[in-house]
Amino acid sequence: MLREQLLSPYQPGTSPVHRLPAGSKLALALVFILCIVLLPPGSWLAFAVLSVALVAAALGARVSPRQLLVRLLLVEPLVIGVALLALLQPGGWPLFLSMLAKSTLCLACMLLLTATTRFSDLLRVLWRLRVPSLLVTTLALLQRYLFVLLQEMERMQRARRSRSFHDGRASTWRGSAQVAGQLFVRTSERAERVYLAMCARGWKS
């Protein structure tokens, strides 16, 4: 339940931020992130101003702050991990702190974008920008079937757990590999059905 929530970042709403066209929202977010990236490390005043702007946008979008925070905290460890590499330099602390601030701001911006924009709308923007159709189709199918496959995987794991008594490390590895392999078999069978369904609806590559 929690994971489902985490996997679907979009929070429906009718705020002005939600109603902005996806293309301009994407462009705004990219400009914002580019600004942050181009700022020299240690420009704390600019970071503060930008974060105030971001908070204002989040308030305007009326999204649940709790969900945004939880998602932010989930990704933050990865950022800290990369930033730790900066500490390998002597006197790396200030650099480390401003890197952390920079990437946290960028993360928050992306999270706000995905919370207020449907992924399918973003795909439509990509389509209009003439990204190759094979890539857009792949992205659309990926987003559509990710949940389906995750649920299928969960069912297979539940079935395996209910049949096995001991859960040692080796058996977990074997079991997980079995689940992944069988998932691929089922995926390719499903892809065949999807192909037929797409053809039936007039799809041409």
Partner 1 sequence: MHIPDGFLDLPTAIAAGAAAVAGIALGLRDVRRNLSPRRVPLIGLAAAFVFATQMLNFPIAAGTSGHMTGAVLAVVLLGPGAAVIVMTAVLVLQCFMFADGGVTALGANVLNMAIIAPAVGYVVYAGLRRLCGDGQRSLLFAAGFAAWCATVAAALACAVELAASGTVVLRSAVMAMGGVHMVVGLVEAAITMMVVAVVIRSRPELLDRSQRVEHGVPATVAFGAVATIGVLVFVSPLASSLPDGLEHVAHKLGFAAEAATPIAAPLQDYAVKGLVDQPWLGTVVAAGVGVAAAFAMAWLMARMLTRHALHARR
Footprint of partner 1 on residues 121-160 (CB under 8 A)? Answer: 122, 132, 134-135, 137-146, 148-150, 153
Among 27, 55, 129, 191, binds partner 1 (CB under 8 A): 191
Give the whole-angstrom CA distance, residue 129 versus residue 26. 12
Min separation Cβ 158 and partner 1, Å: 13
Question: Hey, which residues between 43 and 82 contact partner 1 (CB under 8 A)?
Answer: 71, 75, 78-79, 82
Cα–Cα distance between 48 and 158 in angstroms, integer? Answer: 47
- Torsional sign, CA 57, 59, 64, 70: positive
Q: Does 28 bind partner 1 (CB under 8 A)?
A: no
Measured from the CB atom, the residue of 13 and 140 that comes closer to partner 1 is 140
Q: Which residue in 17, 103, 116, 160 binds partner 1 (CB under 8 A)?
A: 103
Tokens 């969900």, residue located: 67
Which amino acid, residue 132? P
Minimum CB distance to partner 1, residue 80 (Å): 10
Q: How far apart are CA 161 and CA 184, in angstroms?
A: 20
3 state SS of 15: coil
7-11-14 Cα angle (round to 5): 160
User: What is the rounded CA–CA span in Å between residue 205 and residue 203?
Assistant: 7
Contact segment (CB under 8 A) with partner 1 among 13-21, 53-61, 86-94, 158-166 equals 86-94
Q: How far is the CB of 11 from partner 1 (least distance, A)?
A: 13
Token pair 């979009």: residue: 10
* Shortest Å distance, C-beta 166 to partner 1: 14
Residue 52 Cβ, how far from partner 1 at the closest point, in Å?
18
Q: How far apart are CA 159 and CA 65, in angstroms?
A: 37
| Residue 190 makes contact with partner 1 by CB under 8 A | yes
Binding of partner 1 by 15 (CB under 8 A):
no
Number of residues that bind partner 1 (CB under 8 A): 73
